[in-house]
Structure 1
Amino acid sequence: MKLRVRSELVYRFDPPMDAIFQIHVAHWPGQQILEETLALTPAVPFRVDETVDFGTRPLRARLSGEVTVLYEALVDNGRLTELSSAAVQHDWAELPVEVLTYLWPSRYCPSDQFGRFVEREFGTLTGGTRVRAIVAWIAENVDYRFGVSDGETTAARTFIDRAGVCRDFTHLGITLCRAAGIPARAVSAYAFQLAPPDFHAVFEVWLSDGWWLIDPTGLAPIAGLVRIASGRDAADIAFLSTRDACEMVRQSVTVEAV
């Protein structure tokens, strides 16, 4: 699918501070960037690098006052497919070494606290069937609701509150999958048909020798996702990171089919 993505971020940085944006479309197998532009207003020095593992391209700059960051790209995201129920869960000895880190607890995903729950709820299932059951449980038991969570909310808190937004659904999905012995990690994306439009948090699991994307909110079709960044949880995929507090003036994200 060919998609045109656009993000405009207007923030106030006072006092001056270093900032890292993750808004560029990633260089990722099957995802081709056909065109892209980037503009910072006022013009300031910046650098865009690329991570080895994920093709994530963080933008770094020292910013002061009100700054507009405008990014646009035309992307062919290939043919993304829904998770198959027949996807196979691997024994840990069979996993590639690079996916092992996504079995362990992380800051927002305390999977070591959910082993008993996962065994009781999903212990008779395995592979794609188990992951689909986990996603169905989240859909049935957690409400999509703004204002319940914040930047410090963990999956454990969401499990108690039974409400949150996409990052909370994703953290809970990752946590339950890891507790089930399935490697899982967070992905930030531009998402076609997401309402209201915004950066979207989803996750992916390692089954049948590959990664499968999953949107636990069910708000966007898998075929319309454009990968930006990947990592253990939201700490690794944030679209903006600063050491000091900055002020959002306005922000918009759009994704259109071409």
Structure 2
Amino acid sequence: MPIDISAHFSFSVDRVTDVLLQFEAAAIPEQRVFVRSSEVSQTEHFARIAAQDDIGERIWLRAEGRIEVTYEARVEVDRLLLDIGELARLEPHELPAETVQYLLDSRYCPADRFQPFVEAEFGDICGGKRILAIRDWIAGNFTYTPGSSTTNTTALDSFVERRGICRDYAHVLITLARASAIPARYCSAYSPSVDPPDFHAVAEVFLADPTTPGGGAWHIVDATGMADPADTVKIGVGRDAADVSFMTTFGEVEFGDKMVAVSKVP
């Protein structure tokens, strides 16, 4: 089923500043972008570059003054959906090179510190079943609380406070998966079931592919329970939110307004 996406945001800068954006649905095999319209105010510099893992694109701006960004797209998702609980973990030495970085600590995900916890809490569960147990543990122990976290909040902070938003839920799931020696990465996305509508964050985990001996594949997991992998539209991926924010600035910026609307096409 096609998904219609509409987004708008604005920001202002007093002096010439570099800004990195990533807000467009990625054109990748598991989702087809039928229509795409991106409008950005006139800037001194505008350039597209490949995003992490070649999923989506980033946009470099060199801008001054008020900048407005408007985006519309229609995307059809055709993703392989498997029962994660039936999938095995690949042993670390069996992992492909590109997944190794997603086993390691990152800015918001101090996985090493959680190894004793995951062994105590989930030690008798393996592979995809452990991922589902982690997802359910987060859902059962955390409270979704808008405004409760900042750009400095780590998975450890969220774990202690037991609250957060989608970004924090994803960071905790990623951290506990990595502590279990399962590669996990952060995925920014659009989903029609997110309420209130906004840029959303989910986790992806790398598990064995039963159709390919020795192979593996990435699978979406959302601890908030809001996004269905069947209609989740990926924007980009990274080690954590620092890699795939919809806007990263390299100077002082005053953020303006933001609007996101996502809906299924009948």
TM-score (norm 1): 0.96
Change (3 A) 1:202 1:52: closer
Mind listing any 5+ residue stretches in structure 1 that lack a counterpart?
none
Q: In structure 2, what is the equivalent of residue 137 of structure 1?
A: 137
Q: 2:62 & 2:54 partners in 1: Cα distance?
A: 24
Matched, 1:223 2:230: yes
Partners of 1:19 and 1:241 within 8 A in 2 = yes
Using the TM superposition, name which of 166-175 and 87-96 deviates more.
Answer: 87-96
Using the TM superposition, give the Cα deviation of residue 56 of structure 1 relative to its aligned residue in structure 2, in angstroms.
2.0
User: Secondary structure in 2 aligned to 1:49?
Assistant: strand
User: Percent same amino acid at aligned positions?
Assistant: 39
Q: How does 1:46-125 map to 2 (within 5 A)?
A: 46-51=46-51, 53-79=53-79, 81=81, 83-125=83-125
Partners of 1:54 and 1:230 within 8 A in 2 = no
Using the TM superposition, give the Cα deviation of residue 45 of structure 1 relative to its aligned residue in structure 2, in angstroms.
4.1
Change (3 A) 1:83 1:237: farther
Report the count of equivalent residues.
Answer: 258
Q: Which amino acid aligns with 1:108?
A: Y
Matched, 1:233 2:240: yes
User: Secondary structure in 1 aligned to 2:86?
Assistant: coil
Q: 1:138 & 1:245 partners in 2: Cα distance?
A: 35
Q: 1:191 & 1:251 partners in 2: Cα distance?
A: 16
Q: 1:245 & 1:139 partners in 2: Cα distance?
A: 36
| 1:159-203 superposed Cα distances (whole Å, 9 cap, x missing partner) | 101111111000000000000110000000011121100000101
Using the TM superposition, give the Cα deviation of residue 79 of structure 1 relative to its aligned residue in structure 2, in angstroms.
3.3
Using the TM superposition, give the Cα deviation of residue 83 of structure 1 relative to its aligned residue in structure 2, in angstroms.
4.5
Q: In structure 1, what is the equivalent of residue 194 of structure 2?
A: 194
Structural RMSD (CA):
1.4
TM-score (norm 2): 0.93
| 1:193-228 superposed Cα distances (whole Å, 9 cap, x missing partner) | 211000001010001111010111111222121111
Matched, 1:34 2:41: no
Q: How does 1:172-191 map to 2 (within 5 A)?
A: 172-191=172-191
Using the TM superposition, give the Cα deviation of residue 86 of structure 1 relative to its aligned residue in structure 2, in angstroms.
0.5
Mind listing any 5+ residue stretches in structure 2 that lack a counterpart?
209-215
Using the TM superposition, give the Cα deviation of residue 42 of structure 1 relative to its aligned residue in structure 2, in angstroms.
4.2
Q: In structure 2, what is the equivalent of residue 166 of structure 1?
A: 166
Change (3 A) 1:52 1:247: closer
Q: Which amino acid aligns with 1:246?
A: V
